[in-house]
Amino acid sequence: MENTYITDLLHKHFSHDILEKETGGDILTVIVTSPVIHDVIRFLKETENMNFNFLTDLCGIHYPDRGLPLGVVYHLHNLSENKRIRVKTFVTVSNPTIPTVTDLFSTANWMERETYDFYGILFEGHPNLKRILNVEYMDFFPMRKEYPLEDPTREDKDDRYFGR
């Protein structure tokens, strides 16, 4: 399956919602707007000739300097033709809501819980959206970039000397 075939078909169905496509990387990457993410994933999964029927991975990402800082990255795999595709969508910090894909893939259940746990992205329609790896009473989302790994008040360690 050619990359252009996939992107053309996506463009035909989701004209303005396909924001960007990148074919130069290791996997074809498509960035879509957040409201249509469920439809795009379903389109990729259920359309004949697409058949991306395996959700390999789903995770969050945080770019603090961008207009839409919080992202969700989906890795889908067409097992019969061994073709992978990466779909991304971005949301704001104030309203980090995107539709869930748990109705399409049971495996998305824990992956979305993990993404919520670490990035605070709210998956609308998720059956059980609560923290999974961190403690329940945690009141922040630790993988966001504003939470440093080490105690920022420490004075005995200066990162500038370590190339960081």
Partner 1 sequence: MTDILEDKQYTTLNLGPTHPATHGIFQNVLTLDGEQIIDAEQTIGYIHRAFEKIAERRPYYQITPLTDRLNYCSSPINNIGWHLTVEKLLGIKTTKRIDYMRIILMELARITDHLVCNSVIGVDSGALTGFIYVFQEREKVYEIYEEVSGARLTTNMGRIGGFERDFTPKAVQKIRAFIDHLPKVLVEFEKLLLRNRIFMDRTIGVGPISGERALNYGFTGPNLRAAGVDYDVRVMTPYSSYDDFEFVIPVGTQGDTYDRFCVRQQELWESVKLVRNALENLPEGNFHVDAPQFYLPPKEAVYSKMESLIWHFKIVMGEIDVPVGEVFHSVEGGNGELGFYLVSDGGRTPFRLHFRRPGFIYYQAYPEMIKGGVLSDAILTMSSMNVIAGELDA
Q: Is 164 in the site for partner 1 (CB under 8 A)?
A: yes
Q: How far is the CB of 152 from partner 1 (least distance, A)?
A: 12
Per DSSP, what are the bridge partners of residue 10?
none
Binding mask 66-85 for partner 1 (x = CB under 8 A): -------x-x---x--x-x-
**In whole angstroms, what is the distance from residue 52 CA to residue 80 CA?**
9
Cβ-count burial of 87 within 10 angstroms (0-12 exposed, 13-18 middle, 19+ buried)?
buried
Q: How far is the CB of 81 from partner 1 (least distance, A)?
A: 10
Are 96 and 70 contacting, i.e. CB atoms less than 8 angstroms apart?
yes
Between residue 35 and residue 54, which ones bind partner 1 under the rule CB under 8 A?
53-54
Are 120 and 96 contacting, i.e. CB atoms less than 8 angstroms apart?
yes
Q: Which is nearer to partner 1, 15 or 20 (CB)?
A: 20
Are 34 and 117 contacting, i.e. CB atoms less than 8 angstroms apart?
no
Q: Is 140 in the site for partner 1 (CB under 8 A)?
A: no
Residues in contact with partner 1 by the rule CB under 8 A: 25-27, 29, 53-57, 59, 61-62, 73, 75, 79, 82, 84, 86, 105-107, 109-111, 114, 118, 131-135, 142-143, 149-150, 162-164
